[in-house]
Amino acid sequence: MTRFQSNIINWYKTNKRDLPWRETNDPYKIWLSEIILQQTRVAQGTDYYLKFVQNYPHIKLLADASEDEILKLWQGLGYYSRARNLHHAAKEVCVKYDGKFPTDFKDVKQLKGIGNYTASAICSFAYHQHYAVVDGNVFRVLSRVFGIDTPIDSPKGKKVFEELADSLLPQQYSSEYNQAIMEFGALQCVPANPDCLNCPLSGICVAFCRNLVKELPVKDKTTKVTERFFNYLFIENNGKFYLAKRTGNDIWKNLYELPLIESDRLFSVEELIENESFQHIFNQESDIRISNGVFDFKHILTHRRINARFFSVQTNSVNMNKNFQEVLKEELEDYAVSRLTEMFFEKALI
């Protein structure tokens, strides 16, 4: 075993976190944890993992659940396509493999929502198969220690790092090593201001020796952020409220939200009243009153910045041809909604 491998594993034995998915070899639970932890901090993801395991201790229970139930349990975690893919893959396992999670790497990778990294993690941690895991933490550790400035988000970079990771994977203890290098990147070799002076790899780290820690790893692409403006209507009609289900391939697919008018800016009350889409929500004889108080929120997603304004509207008639779901106030929190809508409910339903 090389100095790099042994130092990583020794560090891990002393510093690893006590995480519930490390206490099992069940591929279902390991898969569940890996999907939840994509784009999610461990501190936040742990509670969701425990909720899913409690509600769906076996994959068949997850497959048999409705999408609305799964999205509601996922609420607040973001990147909801993960939840939909999770549900789809659970059904695949039940249909193709009689409810038993596949053991072959190619079969695992073909499941909905599973890429090379997730398949490698499942096969390594559940079955102790010889596959190197390469996530964001591993990219960062390898880039800094070996001084690699090839962009990690380029095809060439992915190939370079995957080949290096494969070459470093020890024949013995490969599962523990994979856990160790990921944990090392998460706790020790962090993105900003890592504690290099107390790092067991500082003596062999190219980035530390050449003062390149801040420059590595390199990314080739920058994320273009789109600005969007959402005008939401919190409509009350004789104790009834209204929700609409988002459809199409847009953000928050299949989640519920309040009636929405998207525009190129946030409306004033006067602009809202004059808006044609607003007028079509109500019947011609409707009595409409709009509260002067509005709630404004900014919500940042990976590629979008959502500027939202929530208007409270009282009326005596709504055009139900708009496919609204009519609910009581106490039922609003039973529906799976985006974190943005959830934040409004937290303020408006006190």
Could you tell me the two tokens for 131? 């596959």
In angstroms, the CA 221 to CA 199 distance is 29
In angstroms, the CA 217 to CA 271 distance is 48
Phi/psi region, residue 39 (left: phi>0; alpha: psi -120 to 50; beta: rest), is: left
* CATH of the domain spanning 226-348: 3.90.79.10
Q: Is 257 helix (H, G, I), strand (E, B) or coil?
A: strand
In angstroms, the CA 143 to CA 212 distance is 10
Among residues 248, 245, 262, which one has the least CA distance to residue 308?
262
What's the confidence (pLDDT) of residue 10? 97
Task: Print the SS3 string covering 22-76.
Answer: HHCCCHHHHHHHHHHCCCCCHHHHHHHHHHHHHHCCCHHHHHHCCHHHHHHHHCC
Is residue 128 within 8 A of residue 174, CB to CB? The reply is yes
Which stretches within 133-283 are classed as H helix? Answer: 136-146, 155-168, 174-187, 206-209, 269-274, 276-281
> β-strands 260-263, 288-300: how paired?
unpaired
The tens-digit pLDDT sequence of the chain (350 residues) is 799 999 999 999 999 999 999 999 999 999 999 999 998 999 999 999 999 999 999 999 999 999 999 999 999 999 999 999 999 999 999 999 999 999 999 999 999 999 999 999 999 999 999 999 999 999 999 999 999 999 999 999 999 999 999 999 999 999 999 999 999 999 999 999 999 999 999 999 999 999 999 999 999 877 788 999 999 999 999 999 999 999 888 999 999 999 999 999 999 999 999 999 999 999 888 899 998 778 999 999 888 999 999 999 999 988 876 689 999 999 999 999 999 999 999 998 86
Query: Per the residue annotation, which of 23, 34, 162, 257 is the catalytic one?
Result: 34
Q: Does 3.30.1490.190 match the CATH number of domain 3-209? A: no
- The pTM for the full model equals 0.90
Residue ranges per structural domain of the chain: 3-209, 226-348
Active site (annotated) includes residue 326: no
What's the confidence (pLDDT) of residue 62? 98
Is residue 91 within 8 A of residue 112, CB to CB? The reply is no
> Helix (H) and strand (E) counts for the chain?
15, 7
What is the residue type of 16? K
